[in-house]
């Protein structure tokens, strides 16, 4: 008469395990959601939770993150053997030893295959085993059984397993999900290597998102693996950056146009760092500075990060969250905001004030007092707004907030100086380099 084996958890892997065990055992399956149709199609008995717990040998096929919850509530038959199949070993084993009665045998396993990889047969597929808390004869029974079925049995402690798996299974699933995020598709010129990459993506994404998250979060070694992968990507990417046209000249990208406060900060930083030969690229926005730095189009970047009146520069903060750059220096500089107009314009004719949101924010007290009711319009940059005003690109009655340098550069008159209303209006500028 065949021995009865229970399978607690009848998802994709539980069903695969049932087909493997069915020729040699009477299999009783149970799942918290109804899987009776799946059991019938495989030809195994679908029973109650109680029926499975009466078995002398029970395979726990539950998600890694559910092991603590499940093993706390289950009461197994005295002297029975519980075999887990989790893809992570240390944490599930700890839960089983803590929660399962002391008179229950525990064997830790990790079948290194799934429904997709077992389609061509199970011979030669690996299964990791460890006798965590069991008699020698119980462990030998299952060790010999898997050997006879054609599996390649590898004996590892839970810690040994997790260390290795983080850089084999863990990295495979991590890369597979990255490939999926890239939305790669077949083309008419696919290479064999590319086809293999698509196979990795297809194989790993067939598994549930919960399994992926459990593999990454429940194995303490995978965090270091992910950091190593990201560092490797950055290192290889750095080797592909363009060579400098002139190695003797430092190229600095700034958040602003000619005549901006960023330009002034850049020149002061060059003096501070004793850089004599440099060229400035006027990239206008923080995002463009961060991108140019990452692409290797510039050697350094300068952008405003906070002001004593206006607070944090949100544009810069957002660009830094997507950036791989590091801060080499923080430069504090006094910023004197001026109201600039075309030569023929009078302060009485002001209808619209344009500038960067930070400049408007820093000038709010003066604007509320002296220009109440005047329309305030955001611009990408103070100096760029001054340039466009000088070219006559704005409607009549428009003035801008920018620096005195911008007024001189673009032949504009200064209607009012020191709009912040403070003697000490300072802005912090970041001096960035590539990681």
pLDDT in tens, 359-377: 999 998 899 999 988 999 9
- HEC assignment per residue over 243-276: CCCCCCCEEEEECCCCCCHHHHHHHHHHHHCCCC
Give the end of a domain, one of 156, 189, 215.
156
Residue 431 CA: distances (Å) to CA of 153, 285, 304, 315? 56, 15, 9, 16
State what percent of residues in the chain have pLDDT above 70: 99
Q: Same domain, yes or no, for 16 and 81?
A: yes
What's the pLDDT tens digit per position in 277-286? 999 999 999 9
* Strand 338-341 with 413-417, pairing: antiparallel
161 falls within a domain: no
Q: Same domain, yes or no, for 12 and 131?
A: yes
Query: CA 85 to CA 9: how far, in whole Å?
Result: 11
Cβ neighbours of residue 384 closer than 8 Å, sequence gap 6 or more:
256, 257, 260, 284
Q: Same domain, yes or no, for 326 and 351?
A: no
Give the end of a domain, one of 190, 205, 239.
239
What's the pLDDT tens digit per position in 170-202? 999 999 999 999 999 899 999 999 999 999 999
Q: Same domain, yes or no, for 319 and 394?
A: no
Q: Same domain, yes or no, for 254 and 130?
A: no
CB 412 within 8 A of CB 341: yes
CATH number at residue 256: 3.40.190.10
163 falls within a domain: no
What's the pLDDT tens digit per position in 309-349? 888 899 999 998 888 788 999 999 988 899 999 999 888 88
Q: Same domain, yes or no, for 30 and 146?
A: yes
Q: Same domain, yes or no, for 21 and 149?
A: yes
244 falls within a domain: no
Give the end of a domain, one of 156, 188, 221.
156
Please name which of 373, 402, 376 lies closest in space to residue 390, comparing C-alpha atoms.
402
Please name which of 404, 386, 402 lies closest in space to residue 394, comparing C-alpha atoms.
386
Domain count, the chain: 4
162 falls within a domain: no
Q: Same domain, yes or no, for 131 and 228?
A: no
pLDDT beyond 70 at 245 = no
Domain ranges, residue 412: 338-419
116 falls within a domain: yes
């Amino acid at each position: 008469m065949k021995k009865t084996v229970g399978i607690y958890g009848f998802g994709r892997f539980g069903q695969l395990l049932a087909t493997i065990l069915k020729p040699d055992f009477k299999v009783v399956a149970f799942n918290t959601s109804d899987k009776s149709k799946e059991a019938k199609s495989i030809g195994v008995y679908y029973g109650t939770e109680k029926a499975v717990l009466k078995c002398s040998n029970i395979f726990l096929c539950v998600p890694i993150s559910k092991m603590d919850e499940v093993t706390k509530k289950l009461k197994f038959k005295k002297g029975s053997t519980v075999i887990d199949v989790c893809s992570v070993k240390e944490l599930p084993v700890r839960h089983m030893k803590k929660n399962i009665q002391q008179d229950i045998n525990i064997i830790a396993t990790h079948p290194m295959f799934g429904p997709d990889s077992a389609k061509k047969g199970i011979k030669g597929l690996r299964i990791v085993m460890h006798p965590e808390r069991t008699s020698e004869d119980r462990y030998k029974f299952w060790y010999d059984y898997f050997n006879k079925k054609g599996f390649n049995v590898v004996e590892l402690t839970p810690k040994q397993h997790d260390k290795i798996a983080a850089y084999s299974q863990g990295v495979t699933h991590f890369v597979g999900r990255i490939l999926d995020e890239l939305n790669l598709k077949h083309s008419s010129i696919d290479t064999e290597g590319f086809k293999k990459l698509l196979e990795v993506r297809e194989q790993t994404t067939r598994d549930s998102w919960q399994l992926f998250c459990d593999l990454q979060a429940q194995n303490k070694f995978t965090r270091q693996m992910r950091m190593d992968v990201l560092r490797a990507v950055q290192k290889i990417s750095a080797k592909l950056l363009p060579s400098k046209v002139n190695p003797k000249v430092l190229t600095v990208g700034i958040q602003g146009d000619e005549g901006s406060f960023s330009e002034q900060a850049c020149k002061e930083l060059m003096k501070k760092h004793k850089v004599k030969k440099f060229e400035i690229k006027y990239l206008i926005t923080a995002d463009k500075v961060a991108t140019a730095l990452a692409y290797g189009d510039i050697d350094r970047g300068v952008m405003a990060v906070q002001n004593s009146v206006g607070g944090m520069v949100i544009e810069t903060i957002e660009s830094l969250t997507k950036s791989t750059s590091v801060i080499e220096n923080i430069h504090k500089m006094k910023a004197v905001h001026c109201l600039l107009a075309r030569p023929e314009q009078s302060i009485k004719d002001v209808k619209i004030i344009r500038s960067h949101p930070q400049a408007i924010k820093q000038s709010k007290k003066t604007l509320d007092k002296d220009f109440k009711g005047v329309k305030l319009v955001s611009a990408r940059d103070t100096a760029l707004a001054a340039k466009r005003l000088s070219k006559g690109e704005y409607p009549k009655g428009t003035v801008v907030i920018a620096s005195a340098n911008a007024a001189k550069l673009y032949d504009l008159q200064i209607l009012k100086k020191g709009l912040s209303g403070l003697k000490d209006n300072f802005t912090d500028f970041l001096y960035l380099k590539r990681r």
